[in-house]
Amino acid sequence: MLATQLGSGRKQLFKSSAANTTSGATPGETKGGNCGSTAYATDCDHLSSGAFNTTTDNIPSLAACVAKCRTCGMCNYVSFSLQNEDCSWYEHCAMDSLGPPMFYESVAVAPARDVQSNLYTLGMEVEESGRKVVLLVSKTGDTTAAKLDLSFAGALCTVLEAVGDEPGFQPPRSRRVGADGVLPLGPYAVALVRLGL
């Protein structure tokens, strides 16, 4: 697929990026349980997790814990327990597999910001044709969705995915990036996104 689409000519690299949202949670979703253990730390603009002491930091309720989270650059989720004097904050949290409740409630405050890049991206301009192509490689065995810049909306792609009984023998498929810039990808997918087509 790569040889057919890219040819053997020289390529000029350009900066490109894509990310996939890993959380399926909705904003405000609340469940019993906690996102994981933390240590008391207040630098919620740079650390990926930490905790405020509800007594010393005057956080008397789950709503106050959520409000505190909204002031933090790295806080996308909270786990709150007044009994344990704990308002823990997290950049990432699996809301579908929380730890034991033990007096905890967790809230997805800003799940859309929970983005981890399980994608490798490389932008290339093929010299002989002048065509710009972005290579995407999914590094996960799960189905995912690549979120691209809206300038990619409608771009034509060639996608090779590890699907079926004999994934090594499945031919590449054509697909277009959605109007929202999202490209669905199967397990360990390799995709070439052609710009301007």
Higher per-residue confidence, 58 vs 166? 58
**Does residue 171 sit in helix, strand or coil?**
coil
What pTM did the predictor assign?
Answer: 0.55
Domains plus CATH for the chain? Answer: 2-22+116-194 (2.60.40), 30-111 (3.50.4)
Percent pLDDT > 70 in the chain is 82
**H or E, element range at 108:** strand 105-108
3-state helix, strand, coil in the chain (%, to 5): 10, 35, 55
pLDDT in tens, 100-154: 877 999 999 998 888 766 788 888 887 776 778 888 888 877 777 787 777 888 8
**What is residue 117's predicted lDDT score, i.e. its pLDDT?**
64
Provide mean pLDDT across the span 32-45: 93
Averaged pLDDT, 37-51: 93
Q: How far apart are CA 54 and CA 51, in angstroms?
A: 9
